[in-house]
Chain A
Amino acid sequence: MDEIPTSGPAGAMCTYVTLMLADQLCGVPVLAVRDVLADQVIARIPLAPREVAGNLNLRGRIVTAIDLRQRLRLPRRAEGASAMSIVTEQGSELYALLVDQVSEVVSLPAAGLERNPPTLPALWAEHSVGIYRLDERLLVVLDVDRLLKLDQAQAA
């Protein structure tokens, strides 16, 4: 098994796919990413929670698209602005996380991951594992499982 560790003892490297979300640099563990998609046709789902942007067809599989801006209560994307998505799998279901832009894949030392600063807004803190201080900016590592855990009561 040549598994790439996403977190591990000091010295190990973690690999992240970085993305932009309302001018914030974020990252998700590369192993959680199945696909990166450009702008897609998304069929809206009536009565769905507002975080759910709709369904899309990924090579014959139905993928539920979650708008991360809505999920994290960020301002809406500008009208007509394109979105990219990161496809991830949870419990044999596929989800597409809609983000503004998918940037690159970076490897960072596992030891560099710092705890969330206590002042981080609650919604961010709740959905991030920690942050990295990069040279110029901060990278928030998102917790994909938490992001996909939509509160049913809140959704209804």
Chain B
Amino acid sequence: MDDLLAEFLTETNESLAELDLALVKLERTPDDKGTLSLIFRMVHTIKGTCGFLGLPRLEHVAHAGENVLGRVRDGELTVTTGVITLVLSALDRIKEIVAALGATGVEPPGDDEPLIAALNRVAAGEPAPEPAAEAQHGEEPDQPRPPAAAAPPAPIRETATEGSVASEAPPAEGQAALQTIRVSVEVLEELMTLVGELVLTRNQLLQISRAQGNTAFSPPLERLSHITSDLQDGVMKTRMQPIGNAWNKLPRLVRDLAKETGKKIELEMRGQDTELDRQILELMRDPLTHMVRNSADHGLEMPDVRRAAGKSETGRIMLNARHEGGHILIEVEDDGRGLDVTRIRAKVLAQGLATESELAAMTESQIHSFIFRAGFSTAAVVTSISGRGVGMDVVRSNIERIGGAIELTSTLGKGSCFTIKIPLTLAIVSALIVKACGERFAIPQISVRELVRVGEASSTGGLSIDYIGPTAVLRLRDRLLPLVSLGALLRMEGADDGGRVPAAATVIVTAVGSGLLGIVVEEVFDTEEIVVKPVAPILRHVTMFSGNTILGDGSVIMILDPNGVARSAGVSASRETRDAPAALAAIGARSDEQMSLLLFRAGGEANLRAVPLSLVARLEDIPRDRIERSSAGSVTQYRGKLMPLVGVDGDGQWAADPPPTQPILVFVEGARTMGLMVDAIVDVVQDKLRIELGSSSPGLLGTAVIAGQAADVLDTAFWLNRAWHDWLDTTPETEAKPRGLLLVEDSNFFRQLLVPSLAAAGYEVTSAGSAEEALSLRDAGRMFEVIVSDIEMPGMDGLDFARKVRDSGPWRDLPMIALSGRTSGADVERGRSAGFSDYVAKSAGADLLASLRQCLSEQALPL
């Protein structure tokens, strides 16, 4: 028999057994909405499934039954014994047909018209036939015979018992014995627990045996050990299934839907091999079917509509599954018409789910989420496929039952994308067991790139850790790797509050998003296959853990989620390393604080050049032959984009005998990347950056004594602008008159850094080293169009300065932008209440320019 059909029969039999019970219960408690919903969904599912299996008789009966139930659910029909009897007789008919299907594989011939007509009459509002009229059926709902019963009662009844453990093959003789049996997940769960205990006991025994040396027990114990391992593997395997198993019905479903609706639909499936827990798989099967059906029926348009909209005639539905950060993500995406917010809004109003004013305050995505409400459907017509509003609420409740979440993004005219995130419960992962502050943790191996042993440079000869202010970074080959100390991040006893790394430690280089993060731990043990168990609900808010597990020795340990660790450490997963807090701290630092400085030589000159390490995104060695000359200068292909290259002396004049590779300092600002060609990288040193001699040559801030040697300090903003202006050949937006800008900033270094880039953006910059100095400019009658001020300054700080400016005087209406290393919500709020118009992080040069543009254009608007 067809696998699909066999599965359908098994499922339907289970549903039917439950339906009987539920209907009888409903008869007793007609107001029980839960039971009613349950019944409605089950009938809906039966109908939906048999629709695409090509079982017209079943489908028609189920559809008529569902109509009646739908009216009941909407409160338009009251539950009477008559109604229930009629629905029960429809169920009996379904059972009959199902039983015949099981025996022969085809629907038996038969006439359902009288039954369907009776159902439709009730659905249309006519009173149901009183049970008295059909006493022989109504009185005994356990053994009803349908009005037009020609066949004997289905033999299926005996086997259709509890849904938990049941091998549901109808005992028909023509059917081959099934190769699989259905086992309840509870049984598997119990097996798993038992196996876990067995493993623990085995481990204890082995430990004792090892202490005793070779005894007569050793050989059988070895054997026991092997069997235990095999058993463990076997039991675990029973729980895992590729998600493709839940998808294999979909191509046919889509094909049939396409035929029925006259649409052209292409179904693309990716990540079928993603394994997930059987229990989850079972629960995801129906929601996924519903969603695909919805996409095909509502999401995608007819070919002519699509053509008119400039899309290809064939609509696309894409399913994509993948593991991500301890979860499984499943996306169901279509390129159809998208959700129509206006229609949802109208429907919400019509159903009284929200008031007009409530709706007005909602975001588009909040309005979208109404489609997850029970009984909500925007489909204009209820078709036999979908549109009854049963789909999405089932989807959501099923997903939430397994602790998952569903999100929806939709663009009108472009399509919709549902993203389902489900936890990786009970999935097995290989994990690294590490120790921090005396406690052990597991880190999923999948996100571990490499392990690096670090120590004091002198003692171990290993790599050493650099500190930028209080934050640690590791120079790992050509990268700057931000480091977090696990103990400090978890606020554990014994961790150094300052984030200093212990003398001898191991850095676990983990991939977070598209970047890397080094997690510093004291010790690394080994890898172990662990069974991920979800953390208790009261601990869900600690996002740093993806679960917990029991180790072989019986101890319970937490499983770290590297993405959660990165978030907690403030490292945005998608950014490059230079955006780590380390870099922010360095930029925010006073110029007289210690910072890491990169020393290099360039332009064939003997004197050293220096640049703060935190401003350098990466160091690269690019093969000489990959550097190309274009009319705008030198470029190279870097990470899939063209990156302009500049040399410190002019435009990359190469020495007579160039080495085969070119060392490059990569600077990144926003979307712009620039490579500075240097001769050699000399060293990274810790020193104060105190610029002692100003510089007359562009591109240099001046000369400083660094590590006992004089070095020219590079003005990175100059080079960045230069590279891009040369490359894009764009002149800055020329304005009739440069706009006057006052920069209040106490740090000499930072002033030097900002002035050129602001000037390059077309501002006429006047800088003041303190708030007092700035106020004296005001008193002297100087006028500007905008003020940019630091917050943390000695003497009068930026907040007081803003209050003073706002208080009185000619500057009181000027836009003011705060510039600060601290940009938490509270800081921003304090800034705003002091009178700043905007608040920008010190490190974000591009943000400052954007903010300036915005402030000035707002200013220009007539009030």
Q: Residues on A close to B: CB < 8 A?
A: 41, 43-49, 52, 54-57, 59-62, 64, 91, 93, 95, 148, 150, 152, 155-156
Q: How far is the CB of A92 from chain B (nearest CB, A)?
A: 10
Q: How far is the CA of A47 from the CA of B533 in the complex (A)?
A: 18
Q: B193, B439, B541 — which one has the most chain A CB atoms within 10 A of its CB? A: B541
| Contacting residues, chain B, for A152 (C-beta < 8 A) | 538, 541
Closest to A47 in B: B542
Q: Select one of A61, A62, A93 contacting B537, CB under 8 A.
A: A93
Using known A-B contacts A46-B491, A46-B558, A55-B556, determine if residue A64 contacts B200 with beta carbons closer than 8 Å.
no
Closest to A150 in B: B538
Using known A-B contacts A41-B555, A57-B550, determine if residue A93 contacts B536 with beta carbons closer than 8 Å.
yes
1/0 per residue, CB under 8 A from A, across B511-538: the answer is 0000000000000000000000100111
Q: Is the beta-carbon distance between A148 and B538 smaller than 8 angstroms? A: yes
| Contacting residues, chain B, for A93 (C-beta < 8 A) | 536-537
- The 7 closest A-B CB pairs, nearest first, are A60-B196, A46-B490, A55-B556, A64-B536, A43-B556, A150-B538, A60-B193
Q: How far is the CB of B486 from chain A (nearest CB, A)?
A: 9
Q: Select one of A47, A49, A150, A156 contacting B491, CB under 8 A.
A: A47
**Contacts A44-B439, A46-B492 known; 19 new A-B pairs at CB < 8 A:** A43-B557, A45-B545, A46-B490, A46-B491, A48-B542, A55-B558, A57-B550, A57-B554, A57-B555, A59-B197, A60-B196, A60-B197, A62-B533, A93-B537, A150-B538, A152-B538, A155-B538, A155-B541, A156-B541
Q: How far is the CA of A81 from the CA of B302 in the complex (A)?
A: 74
| Contacting residues, chain B, for A52 (C-beta < 8 A) | 538-539
Q: A45, A54, A64 — which one has the most chain B CB atoms within 10 A of its CB? A: A45
User: For window 543-574 of chain B, which residues contact chain A by CB distance below 8 Å?
Assistant: 544-545, 548-550, 554-558
Q: How far is the CA of A91 from the CA of B533 in the complex (A)?
A: 15
Q: Is the beta-carbon distance between A55 and B548 smaller than 8 angstroms? A: yes
Q: How far is the CA of A150 from the CA of B544 in the complex (A)?
A: 19
Q: Select one of A49, A59, A62, A150 contacting B548, CB under 8 A.
A: A62
The size of the chain B interface, using a CB distance under 8 A, is: 26
Q: How far is the CA of A48 from the CA of B548 in the complex (A)?
A: 13
| Contacting residues, chain B, for A44 (C-beta < 8 A) | 439
Closest to A156 in B: B541
| Contacting residues, chain B, for A148 (C-beta < 8 A) | 538
1/0 per residue, CB under 8 A from A, across B418-440: the answer is 00000000000000000000010
Q: Is the beta-carbon distance between B558 and A45 smaller than 8 angstroms? A: yes
Closest to A93 in B: B536
| Contacting residues, chain B, for A61 (C-beta < 8 A) | 193
| Contacting residues, chain A, for B544 (C-beta < 8 A) | 47
Q: How far is the CA of A65 from the CA of B370 in the complex (A)?
A: 39
Q: B545, B554, B558 — which one has the most chain A CB atoms within 10 A of its CB? A: B558
Cβ-Cβ contact count across A and B, 8 Å cutoff:
63
Closest to A94 in B: B536
User: For window 253-309 of chain B, which residues contact chain A by CB distance below 8 Å?
Assistant: none
| Contacting residues, chain B, for A43 (C-beta < 8 A) | 439, 555-558
Q: Is the beta-carbon distance between B200 and A60 smaller than 8 angstroms? A: yes
Q: Is the beta-carbon distance between A48 and B539 smaller than 8 angstroms? A: yes
Closest to A54 in B: B556
Closest to A95 in B: B536
Q: Is the beta-carbon distance between B539 and A64 smaller than 8 angstroms? A: yes
Q: Is the beta-carbon distance between B539 and A59 smaller than 8 angstroms? A: no
Q: Is the beta-carbon distance between B538 and A64 smaller than 8 angstroms? A: yes
Q: How far is the CA of A47 from the CA of B193 in the complex (A)?
A: 28
Q: A41, A52, A60, A93 — which one has the most chain B CB atoms within 10 A of its CB? A: A60
1/0 per residue, CB under 8 A from A, across B185-197: the answer is 0000000011011
Q: How far is the CB of B496 from chain A (nearest CB, A)?
A: 15
| Contacting residues, chain A, for B556 (C-beta < 8 A) | 43, 54-57, 62
| Contacting residues, chain A, for B194 (C-beta < 8 A) | 60
Closest to B439 in A: A44
Closest to A44 in B: B439
1/0 per residue, CB under 8 A from A, across B177-206: the answer is 000000000000000011011001000000
| Contacting residues, chain B, for A150 (C-beta < 8 A) | 538
Q: Select one of B200, B490, B550 contacting A47, CB under 8 A.
A: B490
* Contact sample, A vs B, 6 pairs, CB 8 Å cutoff: A48-B539, A60-B550, A62-B549, A62-B556, A64-B539, A152-B538
| Contacting residues, chain A, for B196 (C-beta < 8 A) | 60
| Contacting residues, chain A, for B536 (C-beta < 8 A) | 64, 93, 95
Q: How far is the CA of A54 from the CA of B533 in the complex (A)?
A: 15
Q: How far is the CA of A155 from the CA of B537 in the complex (A)?
A: 13
Closest to B194 in A: A60
| Contacting residues, chain A, for B542 (C-beta < 8 A) | 45, 47-48
Q: How far is the CB of B417 from chain A (nearest CB, A)?
A: 30
Q: How far is the CA of A56 from the CA of B197 in the complex (A)?
A: 14
Q: How far is the CA of A52 from the CA of B667 in the complex (A)?
A: 46
Q: How far is the CB of A100 from chain B (nearest CB, A)?
A: 22
Q: How far is the CA of A49 from the CA of B554 in the complex (A)?
A: 24
Q: How far is the CB of A47 from chain B (nearest CB, A)?
A: 5
| Contacting residues, chain B, for A62 (C-beta < 8 A) | 533, 548-550, 556
| Contacting residues, chain B, for A64 (C-beta < 8 A) | 536, 538-539
Q: How far is the CB of B612 from chain A (nearest CB, A)?
A: 33
Q: How far is the CB of A82 from chain B (nearest CB, A)?
A: 19
Q: How far is the CB of A13 from chain B (nearest CB, A)?
A: 30
Q: How far is the CB of B302 from chain A (nearest CB, A)?
A: 46
| Contacting residues, chain A, for B200 (C-beta < 8 A) | 60
Q: How far is the CB of B487 from chain A (nearest CB, A)?
A: 9
Q: How far is the CB of A127 from chain B (nearest CB, A)?
A: 15
| Contacting residues, chain B, for A156 (C-beta < 8 A) | 541
Q: How far is the CA of A44 from the CA of B440 in the complex (A)?
A: 10
Q: How far is the CA of A32 from the CA of B548 in the complex (A)?
A: 25
| Contacting residues, chain A, for B545 (C-beta < 8 A) | 45
Q: How far is the CA of A61 from the CA of B534 in the complex (A)?
A: 11
Q: How far is the CA of A150 from the CA of B557 in the complex (A)?
A: 22
Closest to A41 in B: B555
Q: How far is the CA of A62 from the CA of B530 in the complex (A)?
A: 13
Q: How far is the CA of A41 from the CA of B553 in the complex (A)?
A: 12
Q: How far is the CB of B360 from chain A (nearest CB, A)?
A: 29
Q: How far is the CB of A119 from chain B (nearest CB, A)?
A: 30
Q: B200, B549, B556 — which one has the most chain A CB atoms within 10 A of its CB? A: B556
| Contacting residues, chain A, for B533 (C-beta < 8 A) | 62
Using known A-B contacts A56-B556, A57-B555, determine if residue A45 contacts B539 with beta carbons closer than 8 Å.
yes
Q: How far is the CB of A10 from chain B (nearest CB, A)?
A: 28
Q: How far is the CB of A117 from chain B (nearest CB, A)?
A: 30
| Contacting residues, chain A, for B557 (C-beta < 8 A) | 43
Closest to B440 in A: A43
Q: How far is the CA of A49 from the CA of B549 in the complex (A)?
A: 19
Q: How far is the CB of B526 from chain A (nearest CB, A)?
A: 19
Q: How far is the CA of A141 from the CA of B343 in the complex (A)?
A: 53
Q: How far is the CA of A46 from the CA of B485 in the complex (A)?
A: 14
| Contacting residues, chain B, for A95 (C-beta < 8 A) | 536
Q: How far is the CB of A56 from chain B (nearest CB, A)?
A: 6
Q: How far is the CA of A47 from the CA of B542 in the complex (A)?
A: 7
| Contacting residues, chain B, for A155 (C-beta < 8 A) | 538, 541
| Contacting residues, chain B, for A59 (C-beta < 8 A) | 193, 197
Closest to B555 in A: A43
1/0 per residue, CB under 8 A from A, across B462-483: the answer is 0000000000000000000000
| Contacting residues, chain B, for A46 (C-beta < 8 A) | 439, 490-492, 558
| Contacting residues, chain A, for B558 (C-beta < 8 A) | 43, 45-46, 55
Q: How far is the CB of A98 from chain B (nearest CB, A)?
A: 15
Closest to B436 in A: A46
Q: How far is the CA of A60 from the CA of B195 in the complex (A)?
A: 9
Q: How far is the CA of A48 from the CA of B491 in the complex (A)?
A: 10
Q: How far is the CA of A55 from the CA of B533 in the complex (A)?
A: 12
Q: How far is the CA of A6 from the CA of B5 in the complex (A)?
A: 48
